[in-house]
Structure 1
Amino acid sequence: MIKIKFFLLTILVAFCCCKNNQSVVETNPKNSHKVEDRPNFFFYLADDQDQLDYGCYGNPKVNTSNVDELAKQGMRFTNFYTAQAICAPARSQIFTGMYPMKNGCMANHLPVKENISSVVNLLKAEGYDVVLAGKNHVAPNSVFNWTHYFESIDHRYLPFKKIESYLANVKKPFCIFITSDYPHGPYPKISQYSKADIFRLPYYKGETKNRRTGYYQNILDDNIQLGKILNMVDTYGLRDNSIFIYAADHGISGKYGLNEEGLKVPFIVRWPKIVKPNSTNYTLLSFIDVLPTFLEAAKAEIPKSIDGKSFLKNLKGNTEEIHDHIFGIATKQNIQNCKVFPSRMARGKRFKLIRNYNAMEVSQSNLGKNAIVNEFIKLGSESFPNIPYEELYDLKEDPYQNKNLALDSKYEFEKNTLSEELSNWMIAQKDFLITEKMPLIKPTLHPLDIPSKWNVVPKELEGKLHQEDYMNLHY
């Protein structure tokens, strides 16, 4: 009789624990706190969408209803940046907490260094699943060894069935990155939007392009995808114990460059009972700060090798600044229209300095003994004849970078201050521009000397570059 009672009691306890997967008590292998003390993490990442192309960021015509609702439920950040306005480098910052030069993915389609830690192994060590669902675009697999990887369907759509199955059955704390292929092109030729529906962004100088009607359609389609994910979160009772982040990897209008429209990203955080609903945060932050914030929220140690800083206190209502300066890079090699034209950026609270290291006014000093390499260096500078060596902007008075103050003596102090910060950062990052004259980056996808529909190469330079002409890197 005693054995029967014990058996029935065991079944009752098991049933109570499994009825709601959030009530399962597991202990961290390193710490004694319960799973309930640590949140789950959802990070939804859109692809190629300007910060201003959201209702909650000021566009009255675009349909981003689910993002807008998320902003009402949480905190909207206005000064959140990527350090590089392109796909793989943006993602690599989020996953490693390091700037592009340090993690190694400082041009598109490049892997990070094999010896670094990422969100995967750091959170796995704390008892978390770390899942990627959707667009990958990071390498190598040894660094990004996801607990589960659910590929996009037809390289386009989120794998909803696999995501839902995972959320329905997960029994441990988790971090899931849901990485959309939208609104990145291709853009549909048929759209419910007309050219008259397109909101003119304040930094857009030319005519509204017809393709933006397809861009708006892709935004709408992605908004629908986000709605499905948010419904899953609620369906499986995951809202209250989860930090849900929405962001885009960079802006399409400033892709590849260092202007605000490329580097400044939308960033929204919902965390019930912790983050104040319908709040706005103006703190200067960067994608490198995501990983340390996750680690602090998970009660884990933050490695000293990480460049970023946790902004957990900001989520809890503290308005203190995290950084005095943030930094960025632009690398136009290994992209479709590839050119030798590297740039670096330092931004403080108000002023921003950009330095273009192969601008026309300095390109002659970049030439060396290799005649073929010199030709590609000259092609790079000649492709951007109107971009000066230095650019300085007062972002308070000129948020869309229309007036370059670099040659104005009234701002010499601001320029010198940012110049020193930039130089110190480049040295700390072991930036190759500190020691190399004007290096060529070994291509993985778009060679400088091979013509394509995007890249025009003079006949006499086709196929003229060799392995020894490129800088020696980690891949």
Structure 2
Amino acid sequence: MKNNKFYLLVVVTSLLLLSCLSIKDRKKSEEEKQNTSNKNEQPNMVFFLADDQDVYDYGCYGNEKVNTAAVDRLAKEGMLFTNAFTAQAICAPSRSQLFTGKYPLKNGCFANHTATKPTIQSVTTHMKNLGYEVVLAGKSHVKPSNVYHWDKEWEPVPKKNVPRDYIPLDSIENYFKNAKKPFCMFITSKYPHSKYFDVKNAKADDIKFFPFNENKKSDQAFVKNKAGYYRSIEEDNTQLEGVLKLVDTYLTDNTLFIYSADHGVSGKFTVKDIGLKVPFVVRWPKVIKAGSTSNQLIHYTDVLPTFMEIAGGNATPDMDGKSFLSLLKGKDNNIHEYVYGVRTNQNILNSEIFPSRMIRDKRHKYIRNFNALEVLDKNLTGKPNVDYFIKRGANAHKNEPFEELYDLQNDPFEQHNLASDLDYKSIKEKLAKDMFVWMKTQGDILSEDMIGIPIITPKGNKGFKLDQDTPRRKIPEAIKNTLTKDDYIVIEHW
């Protein structure tokens, strides 16, 4: 009798245990299925970045004389942004913002051909942590490798009878066909960056001119250069068409596709809108209403936070950017009150001391040129060799005033400086005050009440030294190699 009771107890216990395990297994299976479903719902993200193209040189942005049919198609199928910006109109600093969510001063890459701070986490870390593969196809121009550690990276490929290498279309196609997990791919073209195509018999009538260059209509060298630039734009458009064909062939309609160009070529090395305002077109058939437009201020630092939110994560507190996913979903909410701009003229090519900072809302823009000729005296140090270069920088930009203020609603091409107009005094003072607050948060080497003007250099003997020749300028023999380490602010991570 006791044995039968014991046997019954064992059977009941076993059944209860099996039932619990079965419930646990079912829950686990359901969770795994849900996780798989969520993972499958994560969209692929493709960002196509052109190189050195003005926002005004697209059909969808109002230039009927240039062939940008592929970009125009994206605008019809997605959303066109009219107020998208980068903070610096040169290649490496512009790209570093895209990849880090941080402005150039904060991420460390604020002069061309320089490195991001080695402690920064970039898109490669953040998106991998959210389950994505992160791929670079084309031009890099960012470093160091421990910050930008791509899952896959393909260099541009040589192509006959064109001035620049092509994007690696074959590698992109093979990847699209065989991708096993969600991916974030940056396709970075080397077009239309010079050197341009050689166009014979170029005519001014085939070029669209603007207030900032209409005085060049009779300059045949300028017209020929512009015609070659237009032809290079067309070649980049051909590459974009090839990519879109691959996307439409191999990927689902749950694919986010962004087109942009890293900065404008006509405003390169400046903080004018022609340099900092960028084309920005987004297609995402499952989310974005076709043919829509957004006039909200967005910024390159916003791209990574947006990608992270789409992938199911959140931007880190130290990022400058904010997600604009709500705009893609059709809401017209403000993302930023201001966007900011940085100019660092000390770089490998030009190297004249003329740093600038910019703050801009939707209507007004304030610029301070810290080494303008009118404030040169307070920037001098009393050291003849240092002051030679400070004077040289001020004189190289002698037509640029200490302060600039523009009403962009009435003067979109920044032709009329209102900085001395008393009717705009309060606007100027507020923008200046808010700009200096931002600069402080960025750890800027410049400040409102500084004495003198800082000069910068990389550590060691590499990079750009003010007292040495560059490809674009010569230094008198008597002044060469006269600056010492103590004369510079040395940027250790460059």
Task: Return the TM-score normalized by structure 2.
Answer: 0.87
| Aligned with residue 148 of structure 1, among 149, 152, 171 | 152
Match of 1:438 in 2: 453
The equivalences for 1:49-68 within 5 A come to 49-68=53-72
The equivalences for 1:2-401 within 5 A come to 34-154=38-158, 156-190=165-199, 194-208=203-217, 209=222, 210-236=224-250, 238-401=251-414
Contact 1:191–1:217 (CA<8 Å) still a contact in 2? no
Is 1:418 equivalent to 2:436 in the alignment? no
Letter in 1 for 2:96: S
Match of 1:11 in 2: none
* Structure 1 residue 200, shift from structure 2 partner: 1.2
* Structure 1 residue 196, shift from structure 2 partner: 2.9
Larger Rg: 2
CA–CA distance in structure 2, aligned partners of residues 277 and 191 of structure 1: 39
Is 1:465 equivalent to 2:483 in the alignment? yes
5+ residue gaps, structure 2, are 1-29, 159-163
CA RMSD of aligned residues (A): 2.0
Relative to structure 1, the CA distance from residue 321 to residue 458 in structure 2 (aligned partners, 3 Å threshold; closer, same or farther) is same
| Aligned with residue 405 of structure 1, among 413, 418, 422 | 418
5+ residue gaps, structure 1, are 1-24
User: How many residues of Structure 1 are paired with residues of Structure 2 in the alignment?
Assistant: 449
Relative to structure 1, the CA distance from residue 365 to residue 235 in structure 2 (aligned partners, 3 Å threshold; closer, same or farther) is same
Please give the per-residue CA displacement for 1:124-152, whole angstroms capped at 9, x wherever unaligned: 01110000010000000000000011011
CA–CA distance in structure 1, aligned partners of residues 348 and 271 of structure 2: 15
Please give the per-residue CA displacement for 1:313-371, whole angstroms capped at 9, x wherever unaligned: 00011111111111111111114122000000001121100000000111211122433
* Structure 1 residue 285, shift from structure 2 partner: 1.0
- The DSSP-based 3-state class of the residue aligned with 1:34 is helix
* Structure 1 residue 470, shift from structure 2 partner: 2.0
Letter in 1 for 2:182: P
CA–CA distance in structure 2, aligned partners of residues 28 and 449 of structure 1: 64
- The DSSP-based 3-state class of the residue aligned with 2:216 is coil
- The DSSP-based 3-state class of the residue aligned with 1:257 is coil
Match of 2:25 in 1: none
Please give the per-residue CA displacement for 1:137-196, whole angstroms capped at 9, x wherever unaligned: 000000000001101114621111111111111100000000000000011224696443
* Structure 1 residue 436, shift from structure 2 partner: 7.2
| Aligned with residue 450 of structure 1, among 462, 468, 472 | 468
- The DSSP-based 3-state class of the residue aligned with 2:389 is helix
Contact 1:129–1:173 (CA<8 Å) still a contact in 2? yes
Q: Which deviates more from structure 2 when the two are superposed, residues 370-379 or residues 41-50?
A: 370-379
Contact 1:191–1:214 (CA<8 Å) still a contact in 2? no
Relative to structure 1, the CA distance from residue 416 to residue 32 in structure 2 (aligned partners, 3 Å threshold; closer, same or farther) is farther
Contact 1:113–1:474 (CA<8 Å) still a contact in 2? no
CA–CA distance in structure 2, aligned partners of residues 139 and 327 of structure 1: 23
* Structure 1 residue 373, shift from structure 2 partner: 1.5
Contact 1:26–1:172 (CA<8 Å) still a contact in 2? no
- The DSSP-based 3-state class of the residue aligned with 2:215 is coil
Letter in 2 for 1:340: I
CA–CA distance in structure 1, aligned partners of residues 319 and 36 of structure 2: 25
- The DSSP-based 3-state class of the residue aligned with 1:244 is strand
CA–CA distance in structure 1, aligned partners of residues 33 and 112 of structure 2: 36
CA–CA distance in structure 2, aligned partners of residues 474 and 39 of structure 1: 39
Match of 1:17 in 2: none
Relative to structure 1, the CA distance from residue 337 to residue 28 in structure 2 (aligned partners, 3 Å threshold; closer, same or farther) is farther
